[in-house]
Structure 1
């Protein structure tokens, strides 16, 4: 399809009176090497071809939120633990790179209110359904139908992208999937949306609130679209990459032979305006300042006050940088013995859960607790029971003090604390805040703004594909492939 578009662009170029093949961008800069940055690098090469040089600037580590750390000589996920089976781009990346799905290790979950377990999962599916019905009526069925409807509409994006259609704004992308309703879901809270379809307040407080805290460290005031994406993952069908999810990012950059520059970008300035503007990317590499010139620049790292600020110079009118704050998430990786009696099990051998989600209550000082498996799982691997020393991940809004650690764990060998601004502070967005633009200038694109609509691994991959298609279509003036109305009907007619 990309080859067909290149031939189409060549034909348009000749018909407009130009001689020779249409010019390709000479150099492209991608700022950020997380999921979005590595994916857009791959998709840009798919569109423009391998002859275009792509430089990827990364101030920290390749992988972004996909990261691992070492405990007792084994690697564990410290960032995003798993990926949903409906994430088609991530599935394609794994196949393309020759990676494998990690072997699944079964485990049960429970929800803790700060003084007792309010919901416990069992090994029996029908019993789980009965408990949900007994506690919450048909709220869980209404929730499931709502999530399935949202995900069914979201899946349309893969068909659009397979036919090379792109969208110049997040609103246009959402509108193509679910009309104004999808756009409104970025402004309305998940609690309000679920109450509107008859989900009980108790179910929202106990279950939805616990999932939102474990996923984003935030409350049910989180936007409905963000909540739906998170709840889709909470319903199961999750997988992870053998060897670590971050291998997708490093693998894509290696596959494309991108030039990875470990430096912090400090500014992007407009060097030359006109039909083909030129951009100067300035960076700091271990205290040494440098700069390079590019035809296209993709910013695939959040532009927010708490991160690495990037100045945009010489643009008229000036580029208004997004100012949405990001929410701090603290992940404590603890190697030790769980204090099962804190959760009501005096005999640790009887504690059956591999993860505990916490409701939003004054007594809950953590968001979630999970028994981690290493990123490389052998055939005979078993999840360690609580009476043995295991590796646990504790999510919280701040670092846990010694008293809190001793509350959850009888004893521990090590604690590694990771603090990062992982997600937008959705409660601070408010109903009047608009979504950030994708197109900052003619050849300057902002990929990570999609996180304000929904932050997930796959949302970043979808946004990466959209930006690559948008940059390509705008470069060759293929306007019929941008922001097409009623696209679902159009594709059905064409097919």
Structure 2
């Protein structure tokens, strides 16, 4: 199985019941008049789309975004061509993203083949070739049946995870990450969020060598972290092993902007500063105070609010909560910084042991944790618009590269990786959580009708995870508003769905 078969994947959902779960407002059954969503990334825009589907055309939906629509789906421009600087690949089994593509009339980006290698700081220890059977033989020769064991494990997890689409198609929702995971994979999935990937794989009979040389590089390129991350996050990262990956022609951020229009949502380009609780007997509403560079401040009142931006302290959400008794708890955890550098220049192939750049065969170089390098990966990338006549430039030509690193590259580090370069564009992302092997999942319900979308990222972070979370939030908000408790946190759903059919 080729190495590029081992990069990327799909996504997941949810959050735990709070004291607010015991009561429901608006007992007259009237629909909400206004809903607010804070954040216009893929999660926020997908939430707007799903809320529109469930609550209908009459409700007003405002989406607040202080930056650019798309959030961590973003592009940069080099020589009049755009390149992905954020989330760049999507798995074929990401059914929500597939459906968004169809509804929005977007096109799949042409795929340009390339070969991948793993670098340990001194030499390449694993190299992809043009021959599938040769790659398979090399994997077997070096690692025995570890690859087969890993593949069987990932396929089993994917098969169970795919149940979420059936649950959501039948309208079922969950109030917590734990409830959702248990409904998909029982206690096994829950245990995977509390044990490290390396320990879990060793117990499965995967060799330490395979973990160090194949699994670790995938974790470094996808999450910038080592194999001590939770096993469930690691499985999500490895599930792209089928290599059925795709991207959107014109840039993945087009999905977010398209969903916003499809939802007929009102985009407010402003920073939400304060969420205040307004109580009138048993009924609750939320006042949002916001401002921007074009106006000093304003506020509006909403029946339902969805926060679709991280609330962890090291991410500058800058939202305060007032009037809540007891006060809302702090959201635990922190986000991991990764730096994406888009560099137009000539790769220093001699650094990787190739004195003649014309002989350098790889488009992507991953690294092992043992390498202790200043970068996690370097890859030649293609623009988001690929014409029929497009050809990938050769390694001795100036190409556009994406380099992932824990810190911005110093000048001497750039000179190490590149013979020379024309431009460097740096994006510092708080891209995904700093994962620990024993971590508390953030809540998804903060108050009666106040929801937190990004809690799902602590199960695993990816575009589809946000999309599934968005569908769950929309269903959860709708069922709690209309008091359809039988659609929330139901047990043995596979059996229920079979009985319904």
| TM-score, L = length of structure 1 | 0.94
CA deviations 1:90-140 (Å, max 9, x no partner) are: 000000000010011011111000111010011111111111111111111
Identify which of 301, 304, 326 aligns with 1:296: 304
CA deviations 1:172-206 (Å, max 9, x no partner) are: 11111001111121111111111110000111111
Q: Which moved more, 1:358-367 or 1:299-308?
A: 358-367
Distance 1:330 1:46 in 2: 37
Distance 2:283 2:127 in 1: 60
Name the residue aligned to 1:218. 225
Identify which of 139, 154, 161 aligns with 1:132: 139
Where do residues 175-324 of structure 1 align in structure 2 (5 Å cutoff)?
A: 175-286=182-293, 288-307=296-315, 308-324=317-333
Please give the secondary structure, in 1, of the residue aligned with 2:35.
strand
Distance 2:117 2:305 in 1: 45
Q: Is the Cα–Cα contact under 8 Å of residues 332 and 442 in structure 2 kept in the other structure?
A: no
Identify which of 174, 179, 204 aligns with 1:172: 179
Where do residues 146-165 of structure 1 align in structure 2 (5 Å cutoff)?
A: 146-165=153-172
How far off its partner does 1:62 sit? 0.6
Please give the secondary structure, in 1, of the residue aligned with 2:174.
coil
Name the residue aligned to 2:458. 452
Distance 2:420 2:281 in 1: 65
Matched, 1:75 2:82: yes
Distance 1:41 1:408 in 2: 43
Identify which of 48, 63, 69 aligns with 2:70: 63
Matched, 1:108 2:108: no
Where do residues 345-494 of structure 1 align in structure 2 (5 Å cutoff)?
A: 345-427=354-436, 430-431=437-438, 433-494=439-500
Distance 1:199 1:161 in 2: 34
Q: Which moved more, 1:371-380 or 1:299-308?
A: 299-308
Distance 2:144 2:289 in 1: 58
| TM-score, L = length of structure 2 | 0.93
How far off its partner does 1:234 sit? 4.4
Distance 2:242 2:375 in 1: 22
How far off its partner does 1:361 sit? 2.4
Structure 1 residues 274 and 446: alpha-carbon distance in aligned structure 2, compared to 1, 3 A threshold? farther
- After TM superposition, the runs of 4+ consecutive aligned structure 1 residues lying more than 6 A away are none
Distance 1:99 1:183 in 2: 36
Distance 1:152 1:52 in 2: 37
Distance 1:55 1:267 in 2: 16
How far off its partner does 1:493 sit? 2.0
Paired positions, count: 473
How far off its partner does 1:407 sit? 1.0
Distance 2:371 2:204 in 1: 28
Please give the secondary structure, in 1, of the residue aligned with 2:205.
coil
CA deviations 1:31-82 (Å, max 9, x no partner) are: 1000100000000000000111000011211111110010011000000111
RMSD: 1.2
Distance 1:110 1:309 in 2: 42
Please give the secondary structure, in 2, of the residue aligned with 1:417.
strand
Please give the secondary structure, in 2, of the residue aligned with 1:331.
strand
Name the residue aligned to 2:16. none
Structure 1 residues 391 and 274: alpha-carbon distance in aligned structure 2, compared to 1, 3 A threshold? farther
How far off its partner does 1:273 sit? 4.7
Structure 1 residues 297 and 411: alpha-carbon distance in aligned structure 2, compared to 1, 3 A threshold? same
Name the residue aligned to 2:339. 330
CA deviations 1:437-472 (Å, max 9, x no partner) are: 111111000010100110010000000000000000
Name the residue aligned to 1:35. 42
Distance 1:318 1:363 in 2: 43
How far off its partner does 1:315 sit? 1.1
Identify unmatched segments of 5+ residues in structure 1: 1-17
